[in-house]
Chain A
Amino acid sequence: MGILEVKGVGKRFGGLQALGDVNLSVNERSVHAIIGPNGAGKSTLLNCLVGKLIPDTGSVMFDGQSVLGRKPHEINQMGISRVFQTPEIFGDLSVQENVMIPCFAKRDGAFELNAFSPALGQKDILAQAEEILEDVNMADKRHMHAASLSRGDKRRLEMAMCLVQQPKLLLLDEPTAGMARADTNNTIDLLKEIHEKRDITMAIIEHDMHVVFSLAQRITVLAQGTPLVEDTPENIKGHPKVREAYLGEAH
């Protein structure tokens, strides 16, 4: 049994069958990549996992519980954190505040009317925030305005915001989209480091083969809303069906 079990998930938008009968199993502590050409349904699948969309059919079980019908914040509280294609951070807040918020969410739950005690007086939260900022080498930027960070730093900050919650599953939506090669390699290293150090289960949606083959232990190939194959990177590379449906097209 994997930590995330997707069974028979289908989603239809009007006349378009975006997903049809997707099965997927992500093992604990593994890095699992979901690849596929544009329009294969990768983003739709991801949105079904995090509660933005509700699939028409099938089930999504996370850690033994169904996530279907739950709101994004409830699913996050279950232990799924998400990194976006373009970093979603709190631009008007300081870097430190950005990482404090997930700490509060972890400690106090989805809502807590804590309106009278100073936020900067919460020692435990501050300590956690400081620790994660040290980890991603951003401690010296803690008082900076998050919107003024470089794109790479925004990505690190978003990653830090997810990691500080110690999620059971980290979902990454094309973490290297639109990056130059050097930045891509940096991101790969960062993700590798995170995986090794924290032993976190990761699911990556990506169409950059370089990223996928450098990181993933298992790969699911999606095409036209259905999984073609699920296998190890070595087998995927030589798989004729994949070549035909995906690599053939891409190259």
Chain B
Amino acid sequence: MLGLNSKDFRLFLVVIGLTLFAPVLLNPFPTESGLAQFNAGYPDLMQRFVIFGIFAIGFNILFGLTGYLSFGHAAFLGVGSYAAVWMFKLLSYNVLPAIALSVIVAAIFSLAIGFVSLRRSGIYFSILTLAFAQMSFALAYSVLSNPKFNLTNGETGLQVYNDDPQIFHSDRLPDLPHLFGLSMRASTDIALGPWTFTLNAGYYLSAVFMVAAFYIAIRLFRSPFGMMLRAIKTNQTRLNYTGLNSRPYTLAAFVISGAYAGLAGGLLAAMDPLAGAERMQWTASGEVVLMTILGGAGTLIGPILGSGLIKYFENIFSKINDDVLHSWFAFMPDGLEDAMVFIVHPFVGKGWHLTLGIVFMLVVIFLPGGLVEGGQRLWRWITGANRKKSDDQDTKHAPHAAE
């Protein structure tokens, strides 16, 4: 179906189903219940899930397939955001031209950076991309925001002002990003007994893009191009002596993943018409690395899971405070309750980064295939499939060609 084999098609349907019903699935707790704070089905967070999902899917095309570890992908996301906001400023708040331009600008930008960075491999490539990204950050933060030439509006961030041209804007249209008049903030609340579900226009637009991005990624993974990229990861020497030029392949992968990042950046701006330089900082690049590895680099669904998990941590886990902890452990005797709260406290709330770091390290050490591999192992363990297979999985990851 749709040029996918049956297994991939099933996976694709699952992803469509999950994104379509996300507002319901992510709100499993009734609005008034104590657990409602774990509901993730509000528009702002759901938008982040799918937008960073796109970012990670794109990053995975580069890192998961070719093994080239870029530490500068946030630069493309940031450039995409800036491009989108400029479209808002110049044309109108319609999101389609804005997103189109973000993808194009990010692709061109990644072509330039990739062309230079890919002349080196391994650790040098990582450091080159890191240097380029930090340079882009510095450019956006200060260099390109001086009175003579203000492209980024520096620290304040680029946003739309009343005196901007917006040549296609008319009074009928909302004063916020919209799709031919449909505001991205438009939401409908559906109350169902004690539950409330919010259907949001911006989320569904982003979700459509993510499903499309995911579909393209599946096709790409299964194509000869994807096969070549995996071949580059495992043995570049053999590839060259097989008559294939690895440079254009890696460059194409780099540009595609850059365009994905640009799309994510454009969508971020479409949800909230503001672009700031901090989006380009190398820690933001590190975040997409975490997402991809955590979910499972080189797998189809991994990056989506990873980005969802990290964004959930960031937004939900970080809100757990001591009061919440006390209510969790309330069933215990007082002394024990306090002790438990004391132990758990550093890992939640503001300490969620600590949990993230630990989980990430554990994944790199014990589960190189990320959550997807973890899930597979668990599944095999539950269904009692023979252990030998999982041993094969282990050896599978051992002999990576050094990068």
Specify the main secondary structure of chain B where it touches its partner.
Answer: helix
CB distance from B6 to the nearest CB of A (A): 12
Of A106, A112, A113, A117, which contacts B3 at CB under 8 A? A117
Instruction: Name which of B223, B240, B241 has the most chain A CB atoms within 10 A of its CB.
Output: B241
CB distance from A235 to the nearest CB of B (A): 33
Of A90, A110, A145, which contacts B235 at CB under 8 A? A90
CB distance from B299 to the nearest CB of A (A): 13
How far, in whole Å, are A77 and B242 apart by their CA atoms in the complex?
8
Q: Is the CB of B224 within 8 A of A73?
A: no
Q: Which residues of B contact A148 (CB under 8 A)?
A: 392, 395
**What 1/0 mask marks residues of chain B from 1 to 26 whose CB sits below 8 Å from any chain A CB?**
00111000000000000000000000
Q: Which residues of A contact B256 (CB under 8 A)?
A: 115
The segment out of A81-89, A177-185, A200-208, A218-226 that lies at the interface is A81-89
Of A93, A100, A101, which contacts B244 at CB under 8 A? A101
Of A76, A108, A113, A116, which contacts B241 at CB under 8 A? A76
Instruction: Name which of B222, B240, B401 has the most chain A CB atoms within 10 A of its CB.
Output: B240
How far, in whole Å, are A145 and B252 apart by their CA atoms in the complex?
27
Q: A50-B241, A76-B241, A119-B227 are in contact. Are A147 and B220 (CB under 8 A)?
A: no
Q: Which residues of B contact A147 (CB under 8 A)?
A: 395-396, 399
B311 within 8 A of A: no
Q: Which residues of A contact B396 (CB under 8 A)?
A: 92, 145, 147
Of B234, B249, B395, which contacts A90 at CB under 8 A? B234
A105 within 8 A of B: yes
CB nearest neighbor in A for B227: A119
CB nearest neighbor in A for B234: A92
Q: Which residues of B contact A114 (CB under 8 A)?
A: 223-225
Q: Is the CB of A110 within 8 A of B244?
A: yes
CB distance from B153 to the nearest CB of A (A): 37
How far, in whole Å, are A112 and B227 apart by their CA atoms in the complex?
12
How far, in whole Å, are A105 and B395 apart by their CA atoms in the complex?
29
Q: Is the CB of B241 within 8 A of A110?
A: no
Q: Which residues of B contact A101 (CB under 8 A)?
A: 227-228, 231, 239, 242, 244
Instruction: Name which of A91, A108, A115, A148 has the most chain B CB atoms within 10 A of its CB.
Output: A115
How far, in whole Å, are A76 and B244 apart by their CA atoms in the complex?
8
Q: Which residues of B contact A73 (CB under 8 A)?
A: 239-246
Q: Which residues of B contact A112 (CB under 8 A)?
A: 224-225
Q: Is the CB of A113 within 8 A of B243?
A: no
Q: Which residues of A contact B4 (CB under 8 A)?
A: 118
Q: A73-B241, A90-B235, A92-B233 are in contact. Are A119 and B226 (CB under 8 A)?
A: yes
Which residues of B, 181-228, contact A by the 8 Å Cβ criterion?
219-220, 222-228
Using CB atoms and an 8 Å cutoff, list the residues of chain B in contact with chain A.
3-5, 219-220, 222-228, 230-231, 233-235, 237-246, 248-249, 252, 256, 392, 395-396, 399-401
7 cross-chain pairs, A with B, having the tightest CB-CB distances, nearest first = A76-B243, A115-B225, A92-B234, A105-B243, A110-B245, A88-B238, A111-B248
